[in-house]
Structure 1
Amino acid sequence: MRIPDLAEINPVSRLHTLIWESQLPKENRPLRAAIFAGRITWVILHDLMAGRANQQAMSLVYTTLLALVPVLAIVFAVLKAFGVQNHVADLMREFLAPLGAQGAEITDRTLAFVEQVNISVLGSVGLVFLIYTLVSTMQKIEKAFNEIWHVRSGRSLARQLTEFVSVGLLGPLALFLAFGIMATAVSSEIVEDAATVLPIKEALQYVGLIMPYLVMVGMFSLLYKVIPHTHVQPGAALLGGLTAGLIWVATGWAFATFVVTSARYAAIYSAFASLVFFMIWLYAAWLILLTGCSVSYYYQNRRHLSPELGVARLTMRDTDRITLAVLVIIHRAFKKGGRLWPAAVLARRLNVPLGVLEEIIYPLHQAGFIAVSEQGGRIMPGRDAAQSDIGEAIETVRRGVQAGALSSMDINSDPAVDGLFTRLDEARQSILKRTATVADLLAEAETLKKEAAE
């Protein structure tokens, strides 16, 4: 009688085998999509259990509590100039709807504070402080999104001031103006006459029900597309927005049920109950937003997923290969016609995740081997090919990738092993003396191309 393996008994192990060891069928698209969905769900749950998203969400809750009134004051002042400031209250009530009556109380008190802030009498220093609060809040949101996308460099201060202020101020304005246009269109005579027809009336009712959720999904998708300082594909941003929207609706319903049935918590916390529920809902809201961002990241890198690491990493050997490949490709393209490679296109060319490639690009950029344009992230040579030392480039990237690692001088090895690695290093240096620069590699490539043609 055969004794079954532990992996056959453990349901988690069986699920792991089903998701990660199944071949991706090329013809059966529904099965392929189901496998990808299972893998993305697996790595997101792994991240949640590791606690990284939880820490980011708690940090953003603290930031939100500090910045809530100043940010709302700026938004309220801008919207007031266009006569749509009353929509702020409606939006806050919708956001805090799961809190029930306590949400309405928090909305009224917060807006009462906001209305007492008179920006016209604050002076230049006060206005600068309010704008700084808005930008620093967006910076922390960008940092959280960049950590999910494994982006090491953020936007410059000039781009932060222009883009974050635009998103923070013009975004709500555009949203509320859109609501106003929609409300005007719905109340027009043509629509009212058409609504007398039963099918059209029912269709308008369904549109009215799903429109808030479509707007929510659109807002989430826009954030996932714009805020990370990297190239995010529209499909990945949309899927993240859809996922976050669905989780938001389900969590809102569950939290509303919890608030209604938690009278004993109100008795325990007394006057602080509203604040406690508000902080819990803020935490849930940020966790949902970060989860949607993770969905966008993992979907865009779905072909490189790993059950333990989320997105697969490169070995040190392959890191060296990609380092030199990046330098050769951008120098060859620049030499032939000045073509600049966007990082996303280069990642597809090399068949590596964009985040992994950016971990190689960053130290090369810092050391001056390459230059990266501010707009579009296009990569170009930072040095002449004859001045780009291969050994130096490899060591530069290794130091960046291995930052924080133990020094080889601190490790107690064995004389025989140390001797072997010394000979390997000497052989490597001997080879690099013959092919020392990127220009040498380009010349070798041309020779191999001619030999292949012959």
Structure 2
Amino acid sequence: MGLIDKIVGFYEDIRELNSSNIQDFRGKMKSWLKMGMLAGRIFYIKDMWARDVAALTFASFMALIPFMAMMFVIARGFGYTAMLESWLSTTFEAQPVVAQTIVNFVHNYIENTQSNYIIGTGIVMFLYTIISLMQKIELTFDDIWHTGERSWKQIVTEYPTILFGLGMMILFASFFNVWTVNVIDDVDRIADMGETIPAFILHVAAFVPMFLFFVFCYCVIPNTYIRFRSTLVPSLLAGISMTALQYGYIYLQVFLSSYNVIYGSLAAIPLFLLWLQISWAIVVFGALLCYTNQNLHHYDLDLKYDHVKLEQRIKVCAVVMHQVCHRFNDGEQAFTPKDIHEVTKIPQQIINHAVKDLLQARLLVEIRSGKKGSFEESIILHPIEKIDHLTYGAMIERLFTYGADVVGLAEQNLDGEKWKDIDVLNAEFVEKGKNINFV
């Protein structure tokens, strides 16, 4: 077998990985590779660089001064204004003029919004830019997680909490960043510490707030339930990537001295926009990793419900009905879709689609279990009526008849006798199926 064949075989092995059969470290590594491949495929297919990342870059650039103004107001309330300015200076180490310009803009913005002349306009612009940025972030995350947007009631009640939390996380990160920079630069203090706190440990300590910042974002911003453990590794990778980008941005500004000579102080703008765009790409890709981490079982065997044969989709529905009705008849605790997956070993995404079809066809009813989790974990399934009535024929009849009618189908010029023969055949099929019970 040639090298190309081995590579293709390894790729197919990962693509068709079944997450329910992972038992060893090698299987776990394959699952992580599959998560990365799935995240990359979604990022590419949805063209998220040109669509979502570009939109977030523009929105964040517009909201930069209002958001930093909010940060300075929070910092002033806790007495950390000087610390936040020091963090900005560290971030723009190679461009101190840019950091000072941002600080001056922020102070002018705060002073102007407090004046009697433009306080209304200032508040309106502040709210518009901040809410617009938050909505674009949430829209991107909800598109990844396939959830609906927050209602206006949720926006009014939840956005202030999220923004305050983000502000506190940034303040916390800036505190550690400034502290570690001061300690590492202070040779005498390092010498006094001896070997107890090496410099690399201080760098790790500065990285922890960034890691927690990403965990907070990935847990709170999506309008759905996110498992805490699903955010840990993606947040770690996003934090490492952001730290590397930060160092790369600093060194890039230092080496592009000729660029600064040509454009002067304006040279910082395209570099800053590039930094913003790559930063948002890291954030979005990290969110995709969280999604694939939590929902890897949705891609077992790389199956898609639309690609499954209609005959087998009906059989899966029959299997689900059998499990639910049998459980109900025995008086045992009701199944969740996840329980059915674990019993039958049918891929979870196929079970989920079959359950949704059965719910829409009014064959099953879902009851919220009160447990936080994804769809397959948070609902339990019961028959919608007496199980004696829920035969295979009844299932076929309801699956075939739920939904909207196709406009114009009744006017098709098929011979009337043929239509009658088809209807009679369907009725006979359903009638015979009514003799097959699920228990």
What's the TM-score, normalizing by structure 1?
Answer: 0.66
- 1:136 aligns to what? 132
1:213 CA displacement: 1.0
1:242 CA displacement: 0.8
> What amino acid sits opposite 1:313 in the alignment?
K
SS across alignment from 2:80 = coil
Counterpart of 1:313 (choices 304, 327, 330) is: 304
Q: Structure 1 stretch 348-357 or stretch 154-163: which is displaced more? A: 348-357
- How many Å separate the matches in 2 of 1:35 and 1:91? 40
- 1:64 aligns to what? 60
> What amino acid sits opposite 2:163 in the alignment?
G
Counterpart of 2:7 (choices 3, 15, 31) is: 15
SS across alignment from 2:48 = helix
Task: Assess, with a 3 A threshold, how the Cα gap between structure 1 residues 104 and 221 changes in structure 2: closer, same or farther.
Answer: same
- How many Å separate the matches in 2 of 1:137 and 1:363? 39
1:356 CA displacement: 9.1
1:278 CA displacement: 1.1
Report if aligned partners of 1:231, 1:344 keep a CA contact under 8 Å in 2: no
Name the count of aligned residue pairs: 407
SS across alignment from 1:154 = coil
SS across alignment from 1:21 = helix
% of aligned pairs identical? 16
Task: Assess, with a 3 A threshold, how the Cα gap between structure 1 residues 354 and 292 changes in structure 2: closer, same or farther.
Answer: farther
Task: Assess, with a 3 A threshold, how the Cα gap between structure 1 residues 18 and 108 changes in structure 2: closer, same or farther.
Answer: same
Report if aligned partners of 1:240, 1:295 keep a CA contact under 8 Å in 2: yes
User: 5 Å matches for 1:39-438?
Assistant: 39-50=34-45, 52-54=47-49, 55-93=51-89, 96-97=91-92, 100-101=95-96, 103-105=98-100, 107-119=102-114, 121=116, 127=123, 130-149=126-145, 151-173=146-168, 176=171, 198-200=194-196, 202=197, 205-267=199-261, 269-305=263-299, 312-314=303-305, 315=308, 317=310, 357=352, 376=372, 378-379=378-379, 385=385, 394=399, 423=422
Task: Assess, with a 3 A threshold, how the Cα gap between structure 1 residues 217 and 249 changes in structure 2: closer, same or farther.
Answer: same
Q: Structure 1 stretch 215-224 or stretch 172-181: which is displaced more? A: 172-181
1:121-165, Cα deviation, whole Å (9 max, x unpaired): 56677546534543332222122112222x132333322322221
Task: Assess, with a 3 A threshold, how the Cα gap between structure 1 residues 359 and 97 changes in structure 2: closer, same or farther.
Answer: farther
Task: Assess, with a 3 A threshold, how the Cα gap between structure 1 residues 219 and 398 changes in structure 2: closer, same or farther.
Answer: farther
Task: Assess, with a 3 A threshold, how the Cα gap between structure 1 residues 329 and 29 changes in structure 2: closer, same or farther.
Answer: closer
Could you list the runs of 5+ residues in structure 1 that have no partner in the other structure?
400-405, 449-454
Report if aligned partners of 1:43, 1:306 keep a CA contact under 8 Å in 2: no
What's the TM-score, normalizing by structure 2?
Answer: 0.68
Task: Assess, with a 3 A threshold, how the Cα gap between structure 1 residues 58 and 334 changes in structure 2: closer, same or farther.
Answer: farther
- How many Å separate the matches in 1 of 2:309 and 2:403? 8
1:313 CA displacement: 2.3
SS across alignment from 2:304 = coil
1:16 CA displacement: 3.3
